[in-house]
Structure 1
Amino acid sequence: MLNKLREQTVFKGNWLLSLLVSVGVWQCSVPVMGQMLLPYTPQLNSEQLEQQGLEVAEEAAQLIRFQQHDLALSRAKLAVQLAPNKYQPWFILGTLYIIKQELEPGVEALEKALVLEPEEVGIKFTLGNAYFQQGKYQQAATALEEGLEIKADVPSAQFDLGNAYFKLGRMAEAIAVYQKAVAQQEEFWPAVNNIGLIKYEQGNISSAIEHWQKALEIDEEQAEPILALGVALYIQGQKEEGLKLGEAALELDSNYGEIQHLKDNLWGEKLIKDTQTFFTTPQMQAILAQLEKDS
């Protein structure tokens, strides 16, 4: 399981006119007769422009909350032009790019934000998530570790750090931070689920089953632990129960019938191999064929 990166303000079409009036652009003296008429260069007040930029950035942040991402992106781009030396517009712009899965410009904006405000934990956490999505697992771990040194009680960041450790093969450390996430937020089923993934790869199938059962006690409608539990039970000889769970999982989310989707969600080699065996059974083949037909 991965963790990926979402009072509406009405956009005023004439906001720029108001801004220009507020900074005195229209205040100019009448040229003396006989002088050459020179183009007027407005003397803009940088502090006011910067404040306007922060306000526009705040509008973008509000729009993100309502998942108005395209509108928010246009505001954020404007905000960084108005307030390029403030971290907030860059942070919001970078976050929007990450939400839209435009990772390269997102990371670039977030790195600019971090230069401007090196101790802002939100930037570090968002960068860590973005680095992970780029496959830069050590950079992800470093950013997340630095953020958690400043603010330790953030379950989502602990979860992301656990995922980075997972990909780096640092399994004991991954389990430890997943456990910290659950200690902070008891209903954080993805962390419980991922401990199960590690236990399965370590050959401790009974412990993996316990963790997936615990995850389902938290949320019984999650396809991932249902499928993982079904595969584990099937492999252990409880074939009928395993197949029932497999069918239920794919009815909830057909994406889990795709091996690449499982790999993307940190399923390891042993569990993938057993899942492929599970999917070759006549019952699961029939379900997968029906799902493909319905898609």
Structure 2
Amino acid sequence: MSMSARSQALVPYTPKKDPKSLEDTSKILLRQAAGLVQFQQYEQAIPRVALATQLAPKSHEAWFFLGSLYVQTQKYQRGIDALLQAKAIKPQDPDILFMLGSAYFQKGELPQAIDTLQAGLKIKPDNNSALFDLGNAYYKSNKYADAIAQYQKAVKKDPKFWPAINNIGLVNYETGDINGAMQNWQRAIAIDPKAAEPVLAMAVALFAQGKQVEAFTTAEKAITLDSRYANIQYLKDNLWGDKLLNDTRKLIQTPRVREFITKAPVRG
């Protein structure tokens, strides 16, 4: 026996699994991953879902799940790549388009986010989260009128959807309509008094108007509700614009608020 023949003889035989068996294994992996996700164990879930996509490459559900996990763990380009695979299999699935649009937005690819979210809303126009995301994409693109239009659609469908009302206030403030901004933040607070964001925004607006005492007590209330809102980067991540951020810095740099922040319990 030659060496080459001997090597060939030693290669183990691997039986080929039929497609049904591979698909069943893929479903088991997806169920396992879903269990991990319930406990926010996203990193542990990803390898299982990635393997599921290899075993069942024509499953749009597996690719969608994988893309969602990557987006959740801020691996946006990987998420986009996986979601594009899902979209190629099922191009008219609005949930795939909405998640893909969200991934584009979080990666900062605003034109792609707008186009993708619009495509999804043509199929499923009543999705409030997508309307809100589209409003945010317009807002980040400085298309303020378009942003407000989408936020208002979201509020019309759900009058208690305070994040959209809050963000109308953000747009108002950036465009110089402080009174309009304050009215919208008051509406948001009336819906959810424990929402720290509109409370702090109100404090900033009051401070900008020279109402220091009221501004201080309102800011302290907001920081007590959620101390993350004392962090400028966190506010920026939540789409606070330059004008509002500049006025926020002035408020939180005052001795009274600065001292309160250092003593405030971490909440949020």
- Give TM-score scaled by structure 2 length: 0.89
- Go from structure 1 to structure 2 and tell me whether the alpha carbon gap of 1:38 and 1:237 turns closer, same or farther (over 3 Å shift): closer
Tell me if structure 1 keeps the 8 A contact 2:226–2:266. Answer: no
Matched, 1:101 2:74: yes
2:222 to 237, 246, 249: 249
C-alpha distance in 2 between matches for 1:45 and 1:199: 60
C-alpha distance in 2 between matches for 1:293 and 1:95: 29
Equivalent position of 2:61 in the other structure = 88
Matched, 1:171 2:140: no
Equivalent position of 1:207 in the other structure = 180
Equivalent position of 1:233 in the other structure = 206
* Per-residue CA distance 1:97-122 (angstroms, 9 max, x = gap): 11112222211111111111111111
How far 1:96 sits from its partner (Å)? 0.8
Identity %: 46
Amino acid at match of 1:74: P
Specify which structure has the higher proportion of helix.
2
- Go from structure 1 to structure 2 and tell me whether the alpha carbon gap of 1:293 and 1:68 turns closer, same or farther (over 3 Å shift): closer
Question: Which aligned pairs between 1:15-164 and structure 2 lie closer than 5 A?
Answer: 39-164=12-137
How far 1:139 sits from its partner (Å)? 0.8
* Per-residue CA distance 1:143-186 (angstroms, 9 max, x = gap): 11110110011111111100000011111111011111112222
- Give TM-score scaled by structure 1 length: 0.81
Q: Which moved more, 1:262-271 or 1:214-223?
A: 262-271
C-alpha distance in 2 between matches for 1:37 and 1:267: 65
* Per-residue CA distance 1:212-232 (angstroms, 9 max, x = gap): 011111111111110000111
C-alpha distance in 2 between matches for 1:293 and 1:194: 25
Amino acid at match of 2:18: N
Amino acid at match of 1:233: L
Tell me if structure 2 keeps the 8 A contact 1:57–1:88. Answer: no
Structure 1, unpaired ranges of 5+: 1-35
Q: Which moved more, 1:70-79 or 1:203-212?
A: 70-79
- Go from structure 1 to structure 2 and tell me whether the alpha carbon gap of 1:54 and 1:234 turns closer, same or farther (over 3 Å shift): same
Aligned residue for 2:260, secondary structure, equals helix
C-alpha distance in 1 between matches for 2:167 and 2:234: 15
C-alpha distance in 2 between matches for 1:132 and 1:93: 18
Amino acid at match of 1:152: P
Structure 2, unpaired ranges of 5+: 1-8
Q: Which moved more, 1:96-105 or 1:205-214?
A: 96-105
Q: Which moved more, 1:55-64 or 1:256-265?
A: 55-64
Structure possessing the higher relative contact order (Cα contacts under 8 Å, 6 or more residues apart): 1
Amino acid at match of 2:218: L
C-alpha distance in 1 between matches for 2:253 and 2:29: 55
Question: Which aligned pairs between 1:219-230 and structure 2 lie closer than 5 A?
Answer: 219-230=192-203
- Go from structure 1 to structure 2 and tell me whether the alpha carbon gap of 1:215 and 1:161 turns closer, same or farther (over 3 Å shift): same
Tell me if structure 2 keeps the 8 A contact 1:54–1:88. Answer: no
C-alpha distance in 1 between matches for 2:11 and 2:205: 80
